[in-house]
Every structure is written in structure tokens, then in C-alpha cells.
Amino acid sequence: MATVTHSIPVVDLAAFTSGDAKSKTGFVQALGKAYEEVGFVAVKNHGIPDALIADLYKYVQRFFALPPDTKYQYEIPELAGQRGYTSFGKEHAKGFDAPDLKEFFQFGQTVEDEDPIKEEYPPNVEVKEVPEFTPTFFKAYRAFEKSGRYLLQAIALYLDLDEHYFDGKIHNGNSILRAIHYPPITQEPRSAIRAEQHEDINLITLLVGASADGLQILDKQNNWVPVTSLPEQIVVNVGDMLQRLTNNRLKSTTHRVVNPPREMWHTSRYSIPFFLHPQSGMRLDCLESCVDAAHPLEYAPITAGEYLDERLREIGLKK
């Protein structure tokens, strides 16, 4: 498979939120077409403040620089990596045995209303050594939720659904903000891949400014394409839940993280994706409008919670 370079489509979220009907329609069509053809877009004017992104990376780097014994205090095995710290080499891509070369920290939903779904979520893990860590993650989580909601409203319109089809389903949803650290490579690696090829589990993933190159997507011609976004953009891709809901109309794109050139082995790579999940009870049964003679039904009925559980077992986080 070759590696080629071409840019992923860029869309401007301000065109959707501006209130101008023509701009909004243009955004919906551009986003939907990009998700049918590529599965990834870069989004500008995404509404997540630059200062918040800078703080997020600052405190994430501070956390991962803590001594291993300190970080291990924040690893809670019974939570299957869904909250707190997961140490190096625990997770692998579906279908691969070799662990990914990363450690990560996960921050989840904080239910602030009377929604009984609160009982489903474990509390977030507070990092005592970096007091700003938790409040910054909370702020960023809410900002990602807001941007993600707008993007899902546009996707709903593209699919001829009510604009607010997803709103209630993602309110107090099981989304995860994950901070990933790929440490420096200190010996000849077994593989050229820091994170093996995979698709995301959720509805959509919002990725804000990874600290170094390395992300690649697999295009329709089976070429690996490097993805780099400009500093003012975030990268947003379709996950398997949305692919399943749309009976493969919107594509969940295969992607991976490759090792840097040898002269950069001494460097760390940091990445902070927001995996936007609905509440566990959302049905992922294929939309009737996406099933016809040319596109027969591809998936059995399942809920988001059942599907997540199945996938966490496949990637080694749940036993």
C-alpha cells in the first residue's frame, strides 16, 4: 500500500451556526458528501477556544511526566480504562495482538441534572498532583460536546432526519475525552506503528491538534494518507456507530498512527480525541431510509451500550 498526500476536506462550522439558511444548507451538503466519500473532515471555527486547547495540552503533558508509580495510582482495572489512567501497552487494535505503543487517561460524563443515567457512570478520577487537570478537562469536555452536537445536527439534516434527532440521545451521553501519550522510542520497535489501524467505536470523533505528525487514513484507493490539520482546525471523523446507523452510507474510516522518522524517536507525541457517544440505550438499528434494494441491510439490531461492551472486549480493555 502506498502513502500518498492529499488534503482532507475542510468545512467551516460558522456557516452552520450563523443563522443564514443558504450557508447552513451548503455546510450540511459539504459535510455529508465528505463523510460519504472520505469519512474525515477538518473543521474550522469549531468553537473550542485556543487558550483552552493550550491549557489542555499543558496539563496533559504535566500528568504524563509524573513518575510511573504516581500514575499507577490512577489506574483502576475494574473500570476497563473508561476512567482514569491506562498504562503503556494495555490496548490493542481489533484483530491485532501487538499492543499499541501508548499510555492514556480517560475523562467521562458529569451528569449535572436529575437524569437517572448518572447511576451508569463511574465518577471521574481526580489527579491530585496536577490540580488544574480535572477542571480543564471538564471545560474542554463541555466545549467538545457543544461542537459535536452542531455537527450531528448537520448530519441529521443530511440524512433527512429532524435536525435535533441526535440531541436527546447524546445529552448526558457516554462520551470520553482521552489524552494519549506515545512515549519516545528507545529501542528498535517491533512494528512501525504506534497505534495499529482501526476504526473508532463511537458516533463521531473530534481530534484537537495532535502534537506531532503520524496520523494516517486509508483512502478508497487503499492508500495511506497523512492527516495534518492547521492549528485553528480540528479533525472530525465518522465512527462505527454512525456507520452502523446509516447502513454504511457514512463511512467509518480506517486510520493509524505511525512511528516518526528515526531522528525524531526521542520525542513524545500527544493526542487528545473526544469520542462522542450517545446514551447506552440509543438504538443503532439501521435507518430505514438507508436500506433499499441497492443497499441491503448489513447489521443486526443492537443498542449503543451493547455495541460498546462488545468492542471493549475486542480491543482488550474488558475481559
Task: Please tell me the distance from the alpha carbon of residue 205 to that of residue 225, in angstroms, as a whole number.
Answer: 18
Q: Stretch 212-229: mean pLDDT, rounded?
A: 78
Query: What per-residue confidence (pLDDT) applies to 270?
Result: 87
Mean pLDDT of the chain: 87
Q: Which residue has the higher pLDDT, 245 or 311?
A: 245
User: 77-128: per-residue pLDDT in tens?
Assistant: 888 778 999 987 665 555 555 566 789 999 999 999 999 999 999 999 999 9
pLDDT for the residue numbered 211 = 45
Residue 226, pLDDT > 50, answer yes
More confident residue, 152 or 100: 152
Instruction: Name the pLDDT band for 221 (thresholds 50, 70, 90).
Output: confident
Fold of 10-315: Jelly Rolls (2.60.120)
Residue 4: the pLDDT is: 44
Span 7-29, average pLDDT: 92
Q: What is the 3-state secondary structure (H, E, C) of 107-139?
A: ECCCCCCCCHHHHHCCCCCCCCCCCCHHHHHHH
pLDDT computed for residue 229 by the predictor: 65
pLDDT score of 97: 57
Q: For 139-166, what is the mean pLDDT? A: 97
Q: Say which residue, 188 or 16, is predicted with more confidence.
A: 16
> Which string of DSSP letters, residue by residue, matches 216-268?
EEE-TTS-EEE----TTEEEEEE-HHHHHHTTTSS----EEEEPPPGGGTTS-
pLDDT in tens, 52-83: 999 999 999 999 999 999 999 999 988 877 89
Query: 8 pLDDT exceeds 90?
Result: no
- What's residue 189's pLDDT? 62
- What are the structural domain ranges in the chain? 10-315
Supply the pLDDT for residue 195: 63
Strands 40-44, 10-12: pairing is parallel
Instruction: Give the model confidence (pLDDT) of 252-286 as tens digits.
Output: 988 887 877 777 777 788 889 999 999 999 999 99
Q: What is the pLDDT of residue 93?
A: 52
The more confident residue out of 130 and 9 is 130
Q: What is the pLDDT of residue 196?
A: 72
- Lowest pLDDT segment from 34-38, 133-137, 190-194: 190-194
